[in-house]
Chains A and B, each alone.
Chain A
């Protein structure tokens, strides 16, 4: 079968070999965790513990505030030592709960009934209760996706195993090591959505994952494993849907507009663990890679400091030049390491100082390479020029709001123009204007 794909996109060097074949290592419980109340898109959760409170693993420390929000659970057992602003990967200090480990490992959750005994509504409630969010990087609360707006119906659930970001292998290892949980998670999602149509999309550079999951899914004819061509951004929602089903999400629309929900592999595994053990979202797999002595995939408690992760991988080789949380294409670069691992931290990528090229951006040469690669059919060069001229209306007419900031245009630009940054900046400006006018 020919691997499916979409139009546009770029071919990158993937650098996955450093960690792709290394099994997931359980990192020991940290002495202290910092749990920010904002680890998702939507309203920040509300802190519901006080300094001095004793908490067990799985206790809610911050409650979801409103529908589009997600609760935060204690990832270690111990005492709450601080509630207040703390460093956050977003760059600003954000309200967080600090817990000191007492070493007891006491848990506050118990196994529930299992998938067969759970109804669709109970499953949706479970997603909300365990604080499940999209663990690929965006962090959109998962349960929201399963309440389609009036008049729309979910017909298909797609699991995103493309992992198109270079360096990252956390989803790859999950698929290889825990295929039953991936399948169980997808089955639960299909039940919650009330559909019999499930896909798992995997890029063909992970043949072992495709083979193992095809075998694991053999017992359930509703689930189809789809090999996808290796291309960036294959794992982006719109591209994935287009590649697997051929459907196109309208401009400004959501996957649910074409009756589809897309979830990440790690999200499915977390949901499966909640069904099997009752465990909320308290840990995740993080790929620590690049210029570290022992790159590996770690199972890390949320709130563990990035510093400890690097130390666990035996420190840097050489002088780090850039440290990115997530993949190199979309992950935010960081200037400090005392940051907590959040629900969306898929990787810690260290680049050596020698690897970093200081590029001087020059005027656009109108080569239109960015137009060729833009998977959203935008004209990034025109967008860049319009924004530089301060013409935000023109930028909106050119469809700036459809840009999902995948970074392909900046990657191919021979003039080294920071196109994505310009677009991000303009989007924030447009959003601010809209807030002001409404």
Chain B
């Protein structure tokens, strides 16, 4: 009986002792945490997708509070989320920031392109690129092995039958992961001010492009000559459209002999109507 009492008393005393130490330590060594971080984590989607470029939602919350990241940095939560974060931070949302979408700057799929060798190896664009600069004759075009598709966390991309990545504009959050994954930097993030785009990145001379691809920009300059708004310039055998001057009249789309210039959002895609 005696031993039970001793044990109980000992345990109680130890409990009190350690409790005191812990209480003291939690006060003494407490880490100051901005309560706003927890509040922001609560309004973020919580998918930890990393699309914002920060390590997960808590990483972004910390960056917004301490690192000066913009309140609308979460591409998944979009405007409603940004409004809530702005309320927590006590700032205004930048109304001018428009949603961005990924667009591919190449149309040279299996049917249009010419290959210089048969590639059988790792299905990875960067690995294929290491083998004599890739199987495609065009040094600039899409290799179609899907590094972008694998990088997309939102299931917005797939490789179509023509071996080109297709971007589902409804699912695309504009996070830019695909643009980073592409070894040839063929994916551009655009907002709705880019209404017409040159879907090619080749700086090769005209005859070389014709040999390599049916839909590449040959730098002929017909688009530049016919543009009523003077929005198109041809530099180094590649046409470029200035979105600020472009009126989306569609003359270049019609005149382009290679059919390289296309409307950014084709009809049929949901966002096209919004634009």
Contact = CB atoms under 8 A, between A and B. Distances in A.
B171 interface: no
A334 B122 contact: no
B133 A91 contact: yes
B97 interface: no
A13 B121 CA distance: 23
A336 interface: yes
A422 B131 contact: no
Interface string B116-156: 11101110101100111100000000000000000000000
Contact of A425 (B117, B118, B122): B122
A428 B149 CA distance: 22
Nearest to B120: A358
Given A91-B132, A335-B132, A425 B120 contact: no
Contact of B116 (A90, A335, A422): A335
B127 A422 contact: yes
A91 B131 contact: yes
A362 to B, nearest CB: 13
A332 B133 CA distance: 12
Most buried by B among A90, A335, A336, A359: A335
Contacts of A92: 132-133
A86 interface: no
Contacts of B133: 91-92
Interface residues of B, number: 13
Contacts of B121: 418, 421
A113 interface: no
A90 B132 CA distance: 6
Contacts of A335: 116-117, 132
A65 interface: no
A429 interface: yes
A428 B127 CA distance: 9
Interface string B95-129: 00000000000000000000011101110101100
B122 A333 contact: no
Contacts of A333: 117, 131
Contacts, number: 36
A153 interface: no
A238 B173 CA distance: 51
A424 interface: yes
Interface in A139-169: none
Interface string A417-438: 0100110110011000000000
B204 to A, nearest CB: 12
A425 B130 contact: yes
A424 B130 contact: yes
Interface string A331-367: 0111110000000000000000000001100000000
Contacts of A425: 122, 124, 126-127, 130
A156 B131 CA distance: 37
B216 to A, nearest CB: 19
Nearest to B133: A91
Contacts of A359: 120
Nearest to B134: A91
B120 A334 contact: no
B122 A418 contact: yes
Nearest to B118: A358
Interface in B208-267: none
Given A333-B117, A335-B117, A336-B116, A421 B122 contact: yes
Interface string A383-412: 000000000000000000000000000000
B75 to A, nearest CB: 22
Nearest to B115: A335
A422 B132 contact: no
Contacts of B127: 421-422, 424-425
Contacts of B120: 358-359, 418
A422 B131 CA distance: 12
A295 B84 CA distance: 76
Contacts of A428: 130
A359 B127 CA distance: 18
Contacts of A418: 120-122
A191 B78 CA distance: 73
Nearest to A429: B126
Contacts of A424: 127, 130
B133 to A, nearest CB: 5
A253 to B, nearest CB: 26
Nearest to A332: B132
Interface string A207-245: 000000000000000000000000000000000000000
Contacts of B122: 418, 421-422, 425
Interface in A54-95: 90-92
Among B120, B122, B126, B132, which residue has the most Cβ atoms of chain A within 10 A? Answer: B122
Contacts of B130: 424-425, 428
Contacts of A332: 131-132
Interface string A172-204: 000000000000000000000000000000000
Nearest to B137: A335
Contacts of B131: 91, 332-333, 421
A393 to B, nearest CB: 16
B261 to A, nearest CB: 29
24 contacts: A90-B132, A91-B133, A92-B132, A332-B131, A332-B132, A333-B117, A334-B132, A335-B116, A335-B132, A336-B116, A358-B118, A359-B120, A418-B120, A418-B121, A418-B122, A421-B122, A422-B127, A424-B127, A424-B130, A425-B124, A425-B127, A425-B130, A428-B130, A429-B126
Interface of B: 116-118, 120-122, 124, 126-127, 130-133
Given A332-B132, A424-B130, A425-B130, 4 more contacts: A90-B132, A91-B131, A91-B133, A418-B122
Interchain residue pairs A-B with the least CB separation, the first 6:
A91-B132, A335-B117, A425-B127, A418-B121, A335-B116, A421-B121
